[in-house]
Structure 1
Amino acid sequence: MERRDFIRLSTVGLGTTLITPTLALAKAVKQPTVSDIYYTKESPGRWKDKIAGHLPSIGIEKAGTKITIRVVTSHEMKGYEHYIVKHVLLDQNYKFIEEHLFNPDKDKAAISTFTLDNYSGALYALSMCNKHDLWLNAANV
């Protein structure tokens, strides 16, 4: 075998050794889907019987340039045993606007109020349950 052929074959072998496992690993790793991150009414995943108590509802009231957003999750608050941990408000690009944390010893209902100025477009509300994961709903302002 000539030296040039040896170098060429060695380079190809090394490349194959490095690339093949990476390609196999990329195919084996499951890419996350929407229901791996949060649940929705249309995609409740394993919690299809939990939609009514976990999906946040979004109420919108406008007064001039002030917009009041009311997020309600009709979930019972059973102390630290089972409760809504927080509500998170996101803008149309899924960027954080504000959140409200609940105290399961004091809060009897999962209700949050947020005030925005001059906002228009889609809004998203997340509701996080300590047992049944994260739920997302949307509304337009």
Structure 2
Amino acid sequence: MERRNFIGLSLASIGTALVTPELALAKNVPASPVSDIYYTKESPGRWKEKVAGHLPSIGIEKTGSKITIRVVTSHEMKGFEHYIVKHVLLDQNYKFLDEHLFNPDKDKAAISTFTLDNYSGAVYALSMCNKHDLWLNTATV
């Protein structure tokens, strides 16, 4: 083997050995959303005065294997001027489970009910306001 090929192959092998374990370990780590795209109670960003009306609350009721999740955002609905656009429910790996869209002409309150079967773990509720962005809260089933 020529010296140049040997050195190139050696460097490629070392690089692979360094990167592969990280890739293997990352496979088991759940994805987390980018924190700059939503607000939480702990991190309200520029909307710190808006937490009470925008952070979704999550209620959980279990009946056998059936789980009912109730998401409520106490924000008032002022027609299309200022309202909650939708609620989205995510699983513990931040994967989409369900959503509820609101019609500000008809819906007087931002309340969503979701039903899951045989689920355990964290759930995340997103509440989208047309003026004050996206808010995230979590609960455990």
Deviations 1:112-138 (A, max 9, x none): 000000000000000000000000000
Query: 2 CA distance for matches of 1:120 and 1:64?
Result: 12
Q: CA deviation at 1:105?
A: 0.1
Task: State the distance in 1 between where 2:74 and 2:65 align.
Answer: 29
SS at match of 2:105: coil
Q: For 1:85 and 1:65, locate their aligned partners in 2 and report how far apart those are by CA, in whole Å.
A: 30
| Structure 1 residue aligned with 2:43 | 43
Cα deviation 1:90-124 (Å, max 9, x = unaligned): 00000000000000000000000000000000000
Alignment-derived partner of residue 59 in structure 1 = 59
The answer to whether structure 1 residue 94 and structure 2 residue 94 are counterparts is yes
Partner of 1:74: 74
State the identity %.
Answer: 89
List alignment gaps of at least 5 residues for structure 2. 1-32
Tell me how far apart the structure 1 counterparts of residues 101 and 91 of structure 2 sit (CA, whole Å). Answer: 18
For each residue in 1:32-81, what CA deviation from the matched residue of structure 2 results, as whole angstroms up to 9, or x when unmatched?
A: 951x2000000000000000000000000000000000000000000000
The match for 2:27 is none
**TM-score, normalised on structure 1?**
0.76
Partner of 1:111: 111
Q: Tell me the distance in 2 between the aligned counterparts of 1:33 and 1:126.
A: 14
What residue identity is the alignment partner of 1:130?
Answer: N
**1:90 counterpart letter in structure 2:** L
Letter of the structure 1 residue corresponding to residue 59 of structure 2: G
Letter in 2 for 1:83: Y
Off by >6 Å, runs of 4+ in structure 1: none
Distance 1:33 1:96 in 2: 15
Q: In structure 1, list runs of 5 or more residues that go unmatched.
A: 1-31
